[in-house]
Amino acid sequence: MQKPIQLLFLAVLNFVFSTAIIANPTKNSQDKPTKLLSSLTCVGNPKLQQARSLELQQLVAADQARRVSKNGELIDFRKIDVNKMQKEDLATRKRVGEIFAEGCLTTAKDYLAAALVYQHGDVPDHYYQTYIWATRAAKTGANEAEIKSAKELAALAIDRYLVSLGNKQLFGTQFHPTSSEDSCVCMRQVEPGFTDDLRKEYLGQSLHKRSLHSFALFNKGKNCPNVECSENLEPTPKT
């Protein structure tokens, strides 16, 4: 009877020892996967972070080149291949999303770049994401210029988000062609109950001054009236 008891005892010890190994892996077995994952993201790889930050700036440059001519003039979208631009924008947004997934948005400059790309999206979620990244950039800005740019981008994102949902904008940053026959633009309808206090905080200007500047930019060299668009946008929700 002694031998079966000894075998049973050894079997129990083996089970307990095996369970202890699974429950308490060695330090090396824990470190290897962690170090591998860390090297594949920007969290533990400064060289990768530097490369991704540079790529983000290149993506922004390409995004802007599709919208602004070499002499600084805004490109008339009615005179270009919009489908081609939308495909390029989609590829750019996809790449920015991949960089974000790597944990490579760390500085205000990174967040501003990502936000600017997504501001040129085509669904409300893109504009909402722009707002999130722009707000993050405002909080992490290293200088006044970055914070100013971030706040302005946040305001643009809010307006674009609201208009895309069929609501009136708040800051007066969104414009639209008046018709297909001319090249004039009108300002999307603005919520009348929104005061200039936040506009000055985010944009540094009142609605009147901002609109005059925008009309001068969009309708430069044209005989166009400075008017709101004829549309029926819903009032902006108060909450």
Name residues of the chain where pLDDT drops below 70: 1-39, 180-181, 239
Kindly state whether residue 28 falls inside one of the protein's structural domains.
Answer: no
Q: How many domains does the chain have?
A: 2
Tell whether 57 is covered by a domain: yes
Residue 36 within a domain? no
Residue ending a domain, choose from 154, 178, 198: 154
pLDDT for the residue numbered 41: 86
Enclosing H/E stretch for 175:
strand 175-177
Question: What pLDDT sits at residue 238?
Answer: 80
Query: What pLDDT is stored for residue 69 in this prediction?
Result: 86
pTM over 0.85: no
pLDDT of residue 239: 64
pLDDT at 58: 98
Answer yes or no: do 55 and 77 share one domain.
yes
- In the chain, the amino acid numbered 184 is C
Residues 6 or more apart in contact with residue 123 via CB below 8 angstroms: 164
Structural domain boundaries, residue 184: 166-239
Q: What is the pLDDT of residues 23-56, one digit of tens each?
A: 455 555 555 555 555 567 898 899 999 999 999 9
Q: For the purposes of burial, counting CB atoms within 10 Å of the CB of 105, is it exposed (0-12), middle (13-18) or buried (19 or more)?
A: buried
The predicted-structure confidence for 178-198, as pLDDT tens digits, reads as follows 876 678 999 999 999 899 999
